[in-house]
Structure 1
């Protein structure tokens, strides 16, 4: 646990008692603060009370009297589409509002660091797609290289729930826009921006607000090194703002769309080969085509970002390449579930938006595509480039018929349920095909989460193959 500093003896309200909220309350308590906990859900309140935490109804008129700060869980809207009523009251009372990420960065260092040969460092990864795989890959490479490392944030453990870092340790954080948007302290040693595509637009008041939330990771504290994907205008803008000139190697530009040139520190992938250049000279190269857990251009971008981070941490290209080959990948992200009769079964349930689904479609050929769910803003037109790889679509979800119509010329079978879609796709599949779950939609019409959706796909496939 990372004890929270700066609130010793003071009352701090904690709103939202899920995983991060409970960890935040315990970390505040460990640092000498008095956490006052609230959640509008009775179940969450019961869990907190069972854990020995003090409940404090934030709906009462005098609820914020004597409170030094309000710490809110990332999922609770603090501005758009509408400010949560408790947060709005805190704003009116002039009470600072923060989240666990802000507390983490203000509390991480300790006096023990003065005795360390190499103080711990923090790598923070954000972006629309690929941040989970990039974060996990960085962590994996560090562990393979024998470096102490922890993985936390939007993946793995809550940031305040990790162990106090030891000499030379690297903490790898995956941070969503919900987490970066409100944090009052953001001071990573290395920050990563993978890419940007429309997502969570209602929460951020549009695309500008969404990008601004991501940009805060780079603007609030200023990392020592920034790894920036430059295949979108926003990435180019961000890299340009951070760099003092073309040769400024504090900014490492990453691309999978084109060969990068110039005097700076560059990492790019073309036709399956990763290349690193510095001052116009190639200093590293890796063939990514043979790495089964990183298929497709989107995963090559993840590999480039992870490679760039690990190079800033002093690892050699050879060590990084060896670690790439032993990386198992993450569940629900281009996850190879099975291979039988020449047919591959791939679970990419995390492809909850059009851009992520497009990357999955571009990674494979002869696809039996299981798609559908709660369609997000913007429609499906962004999938056009990947549709030639689709042999047939099998549409799931409560609105499957409408979803199927939006697929245009693609042959589509309305299945509604995962059970029916898997059965139909397996019946049609031939050797050389890939049965791919890449929904291009949220899961909440039928499942509690994308994980549950992916688990259902895996269970159906394995049951049919047994």
Structure 2
């Protein structure tokens, strides 16, 4: 793409903003940068010739621009950006810039989104592709910013894409694409309108050759696919990619044939078995063999902070599911989970304006005790006051859970909320949970 002579403004620094800056400088274009933070991450890495405005959005710069490149953390509904859009100024993100380049190279892209499980599926597909000796780049919403991949030539790009990234992307032409699931998340960004969130996710299917979706989740069914696209369903009912029992054992059924026993997969839980089905469908669409898929599933341990066993002592298991930052993730992880003892659930943080009531059937079960904490912990406590208590911090909640836990019990951090009220991110929350679990064990 030719950006020569255009006035480009990058909104938001950090790793993504810096990758955009490097990209334009390589194109012979010197952009301006704005960031609402007074000391944004990466400002010390800027060349001296770059004009920077910090502390607010510079409305004049935005309205004078030919192209705005917006980082995912900045809402395009922000008044200054909305005014630029109304004026006809083009607004894109780094993924759009990347797609324009790789479309010219006719490279293959596997695109993955969803409310939950997308990092697991993205990583799993990347490992399958690498095991098949395909030169693969894995990134997007995890790992490296996508523009950094342009420095080398890859045969396959496996991209995790958030709704924020998809909002500013129109040139994605995925070989295969999936929405794994949809539950209420980031509704603070979407004015509490679930359909706006769903529509952002649905953009992943627009130019996809193969659309892969969850048959039991209507929000994942493609709305804007190409007329000649191929459709693949995965789920638990009569689709070709499904979970099914054979002689009492749960199997992954792929293309109506048994692929692997779920007991042979290192990841646990029905939600992860569904993730495995989606990953296999994506991998097969890229020409990866079933044997490679099977071998990868047998050795993949899952990702940190995703229903991860981090400690076991005195017959008590400590499970770090800090990545469960929304209601749907908690429901998916705990639905159908059976243990001999009691589940002590640690829940709370910033709910991001989500409806927490779908948690009620889980919280009110007899084998659950709930320890609520953080900004919206009291809202969770109110759902099942007879079965829960409120504590200000997660550490206080953990101390109470350990005091009550007995052999055969599980203490599970599955917060259903973002972490930013008390932690830097969900990773830090998970690390603190793990560290404190050893002190209390």
The 8 Å contact of residues 38 and 45 in structure 1, kept in 2 or not, is answered as: no
Structure 1: which 5+ runs fail to align?
114-118, 261-265
The 8 Å contact of residues 9 and 61 in structure 2, kept in 1 or not, is answered as: no
Which residue of structure 2 lines up, in the alignment, with residue 116 of structure 1?
none
The 8 Å contact of residues 36 and 57 in structure 2, kept in 1 or not, is answered as: no
Which residue of structure 2 lines up, in the alignment, with residue 99 of structure 1?
93
CA RMSD between the two structures: 2.5
Indicate the SS of the match to 2:66: strand
1:302 equivalent among 275, 278, 284: 275
Residue 338 (structure 1) aligned with residue 311 (structure 2): yes
With structure 2 as the length reference, what TM-score do the two structures score? 0.89
Q: Tell me: CA distance 1:60–1:433, structure 2 relative to 1, closer, same or farther (3 Å).
A: closer
Aligned length: 430
Which residue of structure 1 lines up, in the alignment, with residue 402 of structure 2?
426
Q: How many angstroms apart in 2 are the aligned matches of 1:306 and 1:133?
A: 9
Residue 445 (structure 1) aligned with residue 421 (structure 2): yes
Which residue of structure 1 lines up, in the alignment, with residue 84 of structure 2?
90
2:163 equivalent among 177, 184, 189: 177
Which residue of structure 2 lines up, in the alignment, with residue 263 of structure 1?
none
Q: How many angstroms apart in 2 are the aligned matches of 1:36 and 1:243?
A: 37
Residue 252 (structure 1) aligned with residue 265 (structure 2): no
Q: How many angstroms apart in 1 are the aligned matches of 2:403 and 2:49?
A: 54
The 8 Å contact of residues 109 and 159 in structure 2, kept in 1 or not, is answered as: yes
Q: Tell me: CA distance 1:61–1:71, structure 2 relative to 1, closer, same or farther (3 Å).
A: closer
The 8 Å contact of residues 322 and 414 in structure 2, kept in 1 or not, is answered as: yes
Deviations 1:123-157 (A, max 9, x none): 11011111111111111222233322111111111
Q: How many angstroms apart in 2 are the aligned matches of 1:382 and 1:449?
A: 24
CA shift, 1:420, in A, is: 2.0
Q: Tell me whether 380-389 or 150-159 shows the greater mean CA deviation.
A: 380-389
Residue 404 (structure 1) aligned with residue 381 (structure 2): yes
Q: Tell me: CA distance 1:393–1:35, structure 2 relative to 1, closer, same or farther (3 Å).
A: same
CA shift, 1:435, in A, is: 1.2
Q: Tell me whether 119-128 or 388-397 shows the greater mean CA deviation.
A: 388-397
Q: Tell me: CA distance 1:191–1:46, structure 2 relative to 1, closer, same or farther (3 Å).
A: closer
CA shift, 1:376, in A, is: 4.2
Residue 316 (structure 1) aligned with residue 292 (structure 2): no
Residue 360 (structure 1) aligned with residue 333 (structure 2): yes
1:416 equivalent among 367, 389, 392: 392
Residue 276 (structure 1) aligned with residue 254 (structure 2): yes
Q: How many angstroms apart in 1 are the aligned matches of 2:338 and 2:48?
A: 51
1:47 equivalent among 40, 43, 50: 43
Which residue of structure 1 lines up, in the alignment, with residue 76 of structure 2?
78
Residue 154 (structure 1) aligned with residue 104 (structure 2): no
CA shift, 1:439, in A, is: 0.6
The 8 Å contact of residues 34 and 57 in structure 2, kept in 1 or not, is answered as: no
Indicate the SS of the match to 2:112: strand
CA shift, 1:316, in A, is: 2.3
With structure 1 as the length reference, what TM-score do the two structures score? 0.85
Q: How many angstroms apart in 2 are the aligned matches of 1:182 and 1:50?
A: 24
CA shift, 1:53, in A, is: 6.0
Deviations 1:348-383 (A, max 9, x none): 111111111112222353311111122343543212
CA shift, 1:402, in A, is: 4.5
Residue 230 (structure 1) aligned with residue 230 (structure 2): no
Q: Tell me: CA distance 1:431–1:161, structure 2 relative to 1, closer, same or farther (3 Å).
A: same
Q: Tell me: CA distance 1:243–1:188, structure 2 relative to 1, closer, same or farther (3 Å).
A: closer
Q: Tell me whether 332-341 or 63-72 shows the greater mean CA deviation.
A: 63-72
CA shift, 1:179, in A, is: 0.7
The 8 Å contact of residues 259 and 270 in structure 1, kept in 2 or not, is answered as: no
Structure 2: which 5+ runs fail to align?
none
Indicate the SS of the match to 1:160: helix
Q: 1:370-381 maps to which residues of 2 (within 5 A)? A: 370-381=346-357
Q: How many angstroms apart in 2 are the aligned matches of 1:134 and 1:144?
A: 15
The 8 Å contact of residues 254 and 268 in structure 1, kept in 2 or not, is answered as: yes
Which residue of structure 2 lines up, in the alignment, with residue 267 of structure 1?
241
Q: 1:11-160 maps to which residues of 2 (within 5 A)? A: 11-44=7-40, 47=43, 50-52=46-48, 54-57=50-53, 63-64=61-62, 67-79=65-77, 83-85=78-80, 87-109=81-103, 113=105, 120-160=107-147
Q: How many angstroms apart in 2 are the aligned matches of 1:65 and 1:326?
A: 52
Q: How many angstroms apart in 2 are the aligned matches of 1:26 and 1:371?
A: 41
Q: How many angstroms apart in 2 are the aligned matches of 1:430 and 1:318?
A: 42
CA shift, 1:319, in A, is: 1.7
The 8 Å contact of residues 98 and 146 in structure 2, kept in 1 or not, is answered as: yes
Indicate the SS of the match to 2:40: helix
Q: Tell me whether 144-153 or 386-395 shows the greater mean CA deviation.
A: 386-395
Residue 199 (structure 1) aligned with residue 195 (structure 2): no
Indicate the SS of the match to 2:345: strand
CA shift, 1:309, in A, is: 0.7
Deviations 1:362-412 (A, max 9, x none): 235331111112234354321244343743112221454453222244x22
